[in-house]
Amino acid sequence: MYLSRIRSVLCAALALLALDWSSALAQLTTGYRPIAEPGIYGVRIHPGALAPNRRKFYLPQNLFYEYGWRGWEYSNYARDEYERYVDIQLEGNRHYDAFGNYIARGWTIYDWTENNPLRQGSGIFKSPRYSSWFDRVVISSAHKGQFHTALTVGDAIRTTLTPLTFSKPTFNGIQWDFLSDKYAFTFLGSRISSPANPAGTQSEAAALVENSTRLLGGRGVAQV
């Protein structure tokens, strides 16, 4: 009898461990925390799966415990202004790296890809927002202390390495600059023979070419 009691206790412990593991696995796969309040039984409901028109009048109790929503309250927007439902892709699409890790949410504005030795391995994509929103000039910058960096993508960039080697008022490509108290560096890159035009739609494929001329240049300065 003593062994049977030990066996029953072990079975109960294993069952609880499996239940906790299933709850943790459900949280990782769905992204929602499992809701379990005392006295609530039945099929579990994930908040993200409910239609907005059902959240107001057909509110399950577990959603009340989760968000504090009350179906009997009326809509008063005197202090908390009304916010309409918007498209889930209003702020762009989700982007992931080659390993499936989440990077950011937004739109692809400029993409220059080189795949060698493919026949048409050079592709440049310019989003319609590249010309409409940014007027064909995109600048991203950051700084910390004495270190400053900026990445500029444009169709007509005024850039100069030296007056006798490279000086162009309408450079079409990318320019990356770095500056500190002692060092300065500039890198230029362009597919000068076919820099591509902005696409008509966001889903349009990149402009691929078979034979093209690429320009790469740079300059570094150090204070001594």
* Residue ranges per structural domain of the chain: 2-49, 107-222
Give the global pTM. 0.59
Taking 50 as the threshold, does the pLDDT of residue 24 lie above it?
A: no
Distances (CA, A) of 12 to 5, 6, 30: 11, 10, 27
Rg (CA), the chain: 29
Q: What is the mean pLDDT of the chain?
A: 78
Dump pLDDT digits (tens) for 173-199. Answer: 999 999 999 999 999 999 988 888 898
Spatial contact of 209 and 194, defined as CB atoms under 8 Å apart: yes
Q: Closest Cα partner for 208 from 98, 130, 131, 114?
A: 114
Which distant-in-sequence residues (6+ apart) come within 8 Å of 12 by Cβ? none
Spatial contact of 195 and 173, defined as CB atoms under 8 Å apart: yes
Query: What gap in Å lies between CA 169 and CA 157, rounded to an integer?
Result: 6
Quickly list DSSP for 75-91: P--SSS-------TTTT
Q: Closest Cα partner for 208 from 192, 223, 194?
A: 194
Per-residue pLDDT band at 170 (split at 50, 70, 90): very high
Spatial contact of 106 and 92, defined as CB atoms under 8 Å apart: yes
Winning range, highest mean pLDDT, from 40-54, 102-116, 158-172: 158-172
Dump pLDDT digits (tens) for 195-220. Answer: 888 988 888 888 888 888 899 999 99
